[in-house]
Amino acid sequence: MDQSRIRNFSIIAHIDHGKSTLADRLLERTGAISERDMRSQLLDEMDLERERGITIKANAVRIDYDADSGETYELNIIDTPGHVDFSYEVSRSLAACEGALLLVDASQGIEAQTLANAYLAVESGLEIIPVINKIDLPAADPDRVAEEIAAVLGGSPDEAIRVSAKSGEGIDELLHAIVDRLPAPDGDPDGELRALVFDSYYDTYRGVVSLIRVVDGSITKGDAIRLMAHRHDLNADEIGVRRPAMEPTGGLEAGEVGYVITGVKDIDLIRVGDTVTWADVPSEDPLSGYAEPKPMVFSGLFPTDGDDFERLREALDKLRLNDSSLVYQAETSRALGFGFRAGFLGLLHMEIVRERLEREYDLDLVATAPSVQYIAHLTDGTDRNVQSPQDLPESGSLASIDEPYVKVMIITPSEYIGTVMELVQAKRGIMGEMTYLSPERVELHYEMPLAEIVFDFFDQLKSRTRGYASLDYEPSDYRPSDLVRVDILLNGQPVDAFSTIVHKDGAYSYGKAMVKKLRELIPRQLFDVPIQAAIGSRIISRETVKAKRKDVTAKCYGGDITRKRKLLERQKEGKKRMKMVGSVEVPQEAFVAALKINDE
């Protein structure tokens, strides 16, 4: 296809603003798919994604659009992940496009993550078409939303296309705008092959399937290809496009988007962001922007039943087939036994992995409270990465600690500015710029320790703003901080899995709150269970779970021993999700109690 008739674009939208509906409508309008089997095939294919209403993996669908001019255009819709945890993946998807539709709900206005992604698109040189959706809604205020978008992205409010993805109104105008306003790709069709890998996933039957955007040259079935970052040579066994079903095409030319299957099973060989070139006539110049995935949040994963350790390892290995950003290594905890310390891109990524392990692999897990990666400077002049509080060296050998900071953007209705500022300050945030998007909505910038976000920041932000504030953040740098480790002792024994690194000023109140929370969460046992918080050898707080005094049924149900036994067995089953720590039964949620401590 002549590049002048190709348009590659993604849709940037907040959850529920109508991305899937709009994509359906575009496909339907171009006859790519019948309305009936649309939902089932489209975009968000994983169950979890559908449930949470977010896109984790990228996707690309090609449609043919017959313009009024009589010419047929090839449109590639590249779906991007919609969450801050996956910002690297977002950036790679955007790099595969020349344009983006910034889709905003006419009754809601723009949200922080959407805006962050829109900024990213602008920085990557993409042409943006603002699209205001749901204009059919009575509460729609497209004029205000158009003003808001113009205020943050520049340009005129008239540039926004107004649509109802539901009724189809405005879809034709949108298709015209895509053809007229988005630039065509302008790579060198005769140069050496350079194609960007913007997603890779593992398919049980076909091995690794990679989505690519050909920038220069072309790729043909059977080509020997090379992945430039890791210098692997592979064979292009199959090349095709998704419509959205997979359709082999034999090849892809400059400007086109599609998939390549190489028969490899190891996803690490074809990493997102890498450049594909010909193995025999390689390009000298990889496309820019490749980065190794960088875990931001770490958590211990332990099977409740120690015998499940091997099953957990296998499950992690399998998940990794599809997720090269998931890293893990074996870890031993005195309290929890054998498990893994896993690194994640963020909290959502962590939750998704944990949920998939439990659901798809039927594992019963204890996950410890998430931690960030600290850098410990030792008195002997060496540095050490600390991904787990129990790895923090003793204070004697510790010179100082650095912790990761992030740049935070919060968009909130202006009435909540006060409460948001209060919260952020309590979380050691440093105020930066503040911009009014409109008289009612404001964009706030902060620098904050990532550790504070990893705790229950998001929940608190949501609850203080009745769900109206939105949040985005990106890593900035490491800064020295006055940090200490707070240990928790059960029955006089320190429980490593409960240790947390916190700022010195908050350590005392953290210890108190944590001990109190644990007292609520740990059920009464047959003996008193003292719970203590300590910094080093100094106990800063203490509570006791009083011994249970009665745990017996009075009667034997008139000789119905079977019933009695079944009752006991059911009760026992209910205790299965408990982990024995020493002689204390600890429920799984206690290990993330640190996240549930409410500062108020």
Partner 1 sequence: MSDRQADKSIARTLPARDPLLADAAHEWKSAYIHIPFCRRRCPYCDFAIVDESAVRSDHARYAEAVLAEIEMEEGIGRLDAVNVGGGTPSLIDPAHLADMLDALERRFAFAPDVERSLEINPEDWTVERADAWVAAGFDRISIGLQSLDDEVLGDLGRMHRASIIAEVVSEARAAGFRSINVDLIFGHPGEPAASWRSTVDRVMDLDVDHVSTYALTVEAGTELGRSVSDGAPAPDDDVQAERYEHFVAAASSRGIVAYEVSNHARDGHACRYNLSTWAHGEYLGFGLAAHDHRWGIRGRNHRRMDRYVEDIDAGRRPRLGTETLDRRDQERDRLMLGLRLAAGTPMTDTAEAFVRSEAGARFVDAGVIRIEGGRLVLSNPLVADAVAREALSVSASDC
Ligand X SMILES: Nc1nc2c(ncn2[C@@H]2O[C@H](COP(=O)(O)OP(=O)(O)O)[C@@H](O)[C@H]2O)c(=O)[nH]1
Give the nearest distance from C-beta 584 to partner 1 in angstroms.
10
Query: Which residue of 224, 281, 431, 580 would you call a contact of partner 1, by CB under 8 A?
Result: 580
Query: CA–CA separation, 514 vs 510, rounded Å?
Result: 6
Binding mask 237-256 for partner 1 (x = CB under 8 A): --------------------
Kindly indicate which of the ranges 152-160, 164-172, 432-440, 482-490 contains the residues binding ligand X, using the contact rule CB under 6 A: 164-172
Q: Which does 188 bind (CB under 5 to 8 A by kind): partner 1, ligand X, none?
A: none
Is the previous residue joined to 244 through a cis bond, with omega within 30 degrees of 0?
yes
575 binds partner 1, rule: CB under 8 A: yes
492 binds partner 1, rule: CB under 8 A: no
Query: CA–CA separation, 22 vs 129, rounded Å?
Result: 14
Q: Which is nearer to ligand X, 104 or 437 (CB)?
A: 104
- 490: closest CA among 473, 515, 513? 515
Give the nearest distance from C-beta 576 to partner 1 in angstroms.
9
Q: Which does 133 bind (CB under 5 to 8 A by kind): ligand X, partner 1, none?
A: ligand X
59 binds ligand X, rule: CB under 6 A: no
One DSSP character per residue, 468-528 reads --EEEEEEEEEEEE-EEEEEEEETTEE-GGG-EEEEHHHHHHHHHHHHHHHHHHSPP-SS-
Q: Which is nearer to ligand X, 6 or 171 (CB)?
A: 171
Query: How far apart, in Å, do the first and last CA atoms of the chain sit?
Result: 61
The two structure tokens encoding residue 242: 């998704």
Q: Which does 25 bind (CB under 5 to 8 A by kind): partner 1, ligand X, none?
A: none
One DSSP character per residue, 294-354 reads ---EEEEEEESSGGGHHHHHHHHHHHHTT-TT-EEEEEEETTTEEEEEEEESSHHHHHHHH
What part of residues 376-435 is at the interface with ligand X (CB under 6 A)? none
Binding mask 134-163 for ligand X (x = CB under 6 A): x-xx--------------------------
Query: CA–CA separation, 48 vs 380, rounded Å?
Result: 47
554 binds partner 1, rule: CB under 8 A: yes
78 Cβ neighbours under 8 A, 6+ residues apart: 8, 9, 10, 58, 59, 60, 93, 96, 97, 198, 213, 257
168 binds ligand X, rule: CB under 6 A: no
Query: Which residue of 16, 526, 536, 599 would you call a contact of partner 1, by CB under 8 A?
Result: 526
Binding mask 37-56 for ligand X (x = CB under 6 A): ----------------x---
583 binds partner 1, rule: CB under 8 A: yes
342 Cβ neighbours under 8 A, 6+ residues apart: 298, 299, 300, 301, 316, 326, 327, 328, 350, 353
| Interacting residues with ligand X (CB under 6 A) | 13, 15-21, 53, 133-134, 136-137, 164-166
Interacting residue ranges for partner 1, rule: CB under 8 A? 526-527, 548-556, 558-562, 564-565, 568-569, 571-572, 575, 580, 583
